[in-house]
Amino acid sequence: MANLVLTLISLLAIGWTLVHAGEPSPLQDLCVADFNSPVRVNGHACLDPKKVTADHFLFKGLHIPGNTSNPLGSFVNRPTVDQIPGLNTLGISTVRVDYAPRGVVPPHRHPRASEILTVLEGTVLVGFVTSDPENKLFSKVLKKGDVFAFPFGLIHFQQNVGHGNAVTIAFLSSQNPGVIPIANTLFGSNPSINDDLLAKAFRVDKSIIRDLKSPY
């Protein structure tokens, strides 16, 4: 009987850990980020509530189209807790992406968030790939008003496949989801990852790796 009790307690402890593996729930109404606090925590220390104003919860300009005149043909406007201090401990943030025709948000992942995206204008190809060994692609072409979800931490992408410009807006399950662009990470790291290692990993000649690194 004692062993059974210990087993149940262990399972409950594991379950609690899994449920709370993401960002913890707030313990008060608000905890506006205090960027000047010397205290270092997982997130930001709380600003004195007496100093909190409505402006700490405000971000202006998400309606303004971004400049897509760049090699990717896209512009990402990503207000996180750094731009909206009131997001601290709330476990949510947003992002607007503008796309020129054929513009892309290249394969990337968010190490601290899942994501739900909706198309405001245009036609957008989206997709994500599951983890190894399946590496299964889930992909859809979205029209205005369509919604698509990207699971936590998986590599995903977007591309404008329409004839005109496109706009999407998304919400992420973290105040600071982070972003890891796959190409930038592998070919633009500092210091650089060894050419021989990357050549073996991608099963190509080292000259191709050097070409892939050159834009970074």
pLDDT digits (tens, 9 = 90+) for 14-58: 444 444 445 667 778 999 999 999 988 888 999 999 999 999 999
The C-alpha torsion from 34 through 40 and 44 to 46, rounded to 10°, is -50
Q: Which residues are annotated as a binding site for oxalate?
A: 110, 115
Q: Residue 94: what pLDDT?
A: 96
Percent pLDDT > 70 in the chain is 89
Q: Which residues are annotated as a binding site?
A: 108, 110, 115, 156
Q: Residue 10: what pLDDT?
A: 45
| Peptide linkage before 191 cis (omega within 30 of 0) | yes
Q: Which residues are annotated as a binding site for Mn(2+)?
A: 108, 110, 115, 156
Are the CB atoms for 77 and 96 separated by under 8 Å? yes
Single pTM value for the model: 0.85
Mean pLDDT by 10 residues, the chain (216 residues): 49 42 75 92 91 98 97 96 95 97 98 97 98 97 98 97 98 96 97 97 96 94
Per DSSP, the three-state class of 185 is helix
Output the CA angle 183-186-192, nearest 5 degrees: 130
Per DSSP, the three-state class of 212 is helix
Give the integer Cα–Cα distance in Å for 189 and 177. Answer: 20
